[in-house]
Amino acid sequence: MIGFLTDWGLKSHYVGVAKAVIKRINPSAEIIDITHEIEPFNVRKASHVLYRASLDFPPSTVFLVVVDYGVGTARKAIVMKTRNDLFFVAPDNGVLTVVAEEYGVAEIREIENRELFYKKSPSFTFHGRDIFAPVAAHLDMGLPMEKVGERLLSYEALKMRKPTLKEDCVIGEIAVVDTFGNVSTNIPFEMFMSLGVDFDDVVRVKVGKKEYRATVTRAFGDVERGELLVHPDSAGFLEVAVNMGDAREVLSVKEGDEIEICR
């Protein structure tokens, strides 16, 4: 199985062409589209989305991850195997930061074996088609990691705020804002609950110098329309939302911003 994630969008032909390359090499490949609507070049968001999506994929899945603002430059193309037996084919630009930290790294290889490439002379700007997609197809067919290239001892990692407890507050960063404007953080909901809060409690949400009040709920509809709420998202992280509204607009935030929730 191949999980496919990019920032290419669906208006252009790029996704279809990359899938065609995979199918030419591995006709029996099962390709699952995670999303192709990551905002262009947003490696930080892609890193969080990739981890959350990967939680529901089976062992041995190969993830094809192409959010590659440095395509054609000196950045490396790599394959990472994590300790839970998942494979990630991606540019070495930090997009694998969260899966590496959460799962642990078993092995990293630089993609050097040109016999695996789709074209002998790859396009300077479409490595997704010419390098990453064919390597993912071969790995999905059982290609050993050592056939990809030389082993690497390190990888590029993004600097992210790790969630921490401070007195009666938990502090983290905004990981993902979805199409509804729901603001999901990197704070595990269990960590938040360890403050001694309970459902139906009212807590303080701090972003920059602004402070808001939100109700701790299980579901969006547990508060009136337009009210701010805090609840566990589907991946188990603390999320701030507005019932039938847009929490991103209310809080005026973006991915990477620091957020603090207090009793």
Full set of structural domains in the chain with CATH: 2-147 (3.40.50.10790), 164-262 (2.40.30.90)
Task: Kindly report the number of other CB atoms within 10 A of residue 113's CB atom.
Answer: 16
pTM to 2 decimal places: 0.94
* Per-residue model confidence (pLDDT) at position 120: 83
Report, as an integer, the average pLDDT of 164-169: 94
- For the ranges 6-10, 55-59, 118-122, 161-165, the lowest mean pLDDT is seen at 118-122
Give the tens place of pLDDT for each residue, 9-45. Answer: 999 999 999 999 999 999 999 999 999 999 999 999 9
pLDDT confidence of residue 12: 94
Q: What single-letter DSSP state applies at residue 130?
A: I
Tell me what pLDDT residue 131 has: 97
pLDDT exceeds 90 at position 125:
yes
Q: Look at residue 39 in the predicted model and tell me its pLDDT.
A: 94
Write the DSSP string, 138-168. Answer: HHHTT--GGGT--B-S-------PPPEEETT
Question: Is the model's pLDDT at 139 over the cut of 90?
Answer: yes
Provide the 3-class DSSP secondary structure of residue 202. strand
Whether pLDDT at 64 is above 90: yes
pLDDT of residue 86: 98
pLDDT at 170: 98
- Determine the Cα–Cα distance for residues 179 and 238; give it in Å rounded to an integer: 17
pLDDT for the residue numbered 174: 96
- 3-class SS at 220? helix
User: For residue 182, is pLDDT > 90?
Assistant: yes
Closest CA to 46 of 110, 103, 90, 85: 90
Taking residues 237-255, report their average pLDDT.
96
State whether residue 132 is helix, strand or coil.
helix
The residue-averaged pLDDT of 210-224 equals 97
For residue 44, count other CB atoms closer than 10 A to its CB.
Answer: 25
Mean pLDDT (the chain) is: 97
